[in-house]
Amino acid sequence: MNRFKYCVAAALTLAVAQVHAQDNQALITQDGDAHHAEVIQNGTGNQVVAWQGRATNGLQAVQIGDEHFAEIRQFGAGHDASTRQEGLNHSATIEQDWYYNSKQALVDQTGNDHVAAIYQLSGGANSAAIYQAGSMHTAEITQTIGEDLASDNVATIQQDGTGHIARVAQDYFNNNADITQSGDEHSATTTQSGQSQSVSIDQQGWLNTALSAQVGDDNIVLIGQNGERNLAEVTQSGSQLEAIINQTGSDNQALVAQAMSGNQATITQLGVANLAAITQQ
């Protein structure tokens, strides 16, 4: 196993770290199998850019303090990438690509102006998670499955505190997506395409909006919202569909539209300007 810290050519990166201690930078390039890289940055103007190819590589980036930026790209099978960022102006992107299975990605951000995106493309059995706490969140997860790679993709987004937006898009087979938001200006969007999808959205307190769209097979959507400007909308297209919406408090609306097969829809709303519409075909 090759192990690199901070590096393409360790000497070069070390020189950058010594000269620019306050303006942290790291560049990592690894091609081959079973590599592991770790970057830890404390202090002001942080950056990490990393590229790993082939199979079973791992990369961990930890940035504590100030103007973070991390970009990790992994091509091949069985990769593992994680980014943890604390304090102020985060941005993180993890892209895991090529026609292979079993990739894992995690972004954990606390404090202020988060943006996070995970792209897992052309593979199956992938998992992606984004955790954000404190202030101006945005999160996006996109997962697709290559033809003949029939397995699960799992996406989780959890956001606490103020300006949330979350989006998940998944392709087909046994997809699962979960979005949890608490505190203030929520919005959540989920799109799924085929086979055994499932969505769960839980939002509490203030400007809630939740949208979900599904196409094909054993769909389930559960949305719960608690407090103030609620809207929940579910659109489903085919097979064992089920949609449940619970909203408590203020300007509620709930819309469900379903198409053919074993439809079920439940809407419960309590408090103030309720409107509910269910269409089944």
Q: Are 205 and 185 in contact (CB under 8 A)?
A: no
pLDDT at res. 45: 93
Residues facing 167 on adjacent strands: 140, 189
- Cα–Cα distance between 81 and 106 in angstroms, integer? 6
- Cα–Cα distance between 203 and 180 in angstroms, integer? 6
pLDDT at res. 122: 73
User: pLDDT under 70 in the chain at which residues?
Assistant: 1-21, 99-100, 146-151
Q: Which two tokens stand for residue 207?
A: 């400007």
Q: Which two tokens stand for residue 5?
A: 């810290």
- Cα–Cα distance between 41 and 68 in angstroms, integer? 9
- Per residue in 95-152, pLDDT (tens digit) is 998 766 789 999 999 999 999 999 998 777 889 999 999 999 999 999 987 655 566 7
pLDDT at res. 73: 96
Residues 6+ apart with CB under 8 A from 51: 28, 29, 30, 73, 74, 75
Kindly list the domain boundaries of the chain, sorted by start residue. Answer: 1-185, 197-281
